[in-house]
Amino acid sequence: MNRALFSEYRSMYSSDREHPTVIRIRIRMRDLIDPDCMREAVDTTMARYPYFCVALEKDEENHWIYTDNDRPVVISRSLSGVELNSEASHYHLIAFSWQDNWIIMDVSHAMTDGTGAYEIVRTFLYYYCSRRYHAAVSAEGVRLAGEEIKAEEWDDPMRMATALPAPPRVDYPATINPIAAAHLEEDTARTVYSIAVDEKEFMRFNIENDGSPATMIALLLSRAFARLYPDREDVIRVTLALNQRGALGVPAAHQSLVGGVFLEYKDAMKDWPLERQATAYRGMVFAQTRDEVVLAGVASMKGINQMLMSKATDQERLGITNAIGEMTSRIVTATVSYVGKAGFRDSEDYIRDFRLWTSGAGSSLLLEVSAVGGRFTIDFIQPFSSPVYVNAFLAELEEQAIRYDLQDVMPLDLPNVRLPWTE
Beta strands 75-77 and 94-99, pairing class: parallel
The band of 148, judged by pLDDT with boundaries at 50, 70 and 90, is very high
β-partners of residue 68 are 54
Largest CA distance in the chain: 61
Residue 66 CB contacts under 8 Å (≥ 6 apart), including other chains: 2, 3, 4, 5, 51, 54, 55, 56, 57
More confident residue, 418 or 62: 418
pLDDT score at 169: 85
| Per-residue pLDDT at 31 exceeds 80 | yes
Mean pLDDT of 302-313: 95
pLDDT at 152: 93
Give residue 360's pLDDT: 87
pLDDT of 168 reads 85
Over residues 368-374, the mean pLDDT reads 96
Determine the average pLDDT of the residues in 10-33.
96
How many residues make up the chain in this entry?
423
Q: Is the pLDDT of residue 248 over 90?
A: yes
| Strand, helix or coil for residue 363 | coil
pLDDT at 423 over 80: no
Predicted TM-score (pTM) of this structure: 0.96
Tally of CA atoms within 13 A in the half-sphere of 362 that contains its CB: 23
> How many Cβ atoms sit within 10 Å of the Cβ of residue 312?
9
Q: 155-180: b or e for each residue (b if 16 or more CB lie within 10 Å)?
A: bbbbeebeebeebeeeeeeebbbbbe
Q: What is the pLDDT of residues 164-213, one digit of tens each?
A: 999 888 889 999 999 999 999 999 999 999 999 999 999 999 999 999 99
Contact 209, 216 (CB under 8 A): yes
Query: pLDDT tier at 60 (50, 70, 90 boundaries)?
Result: confident
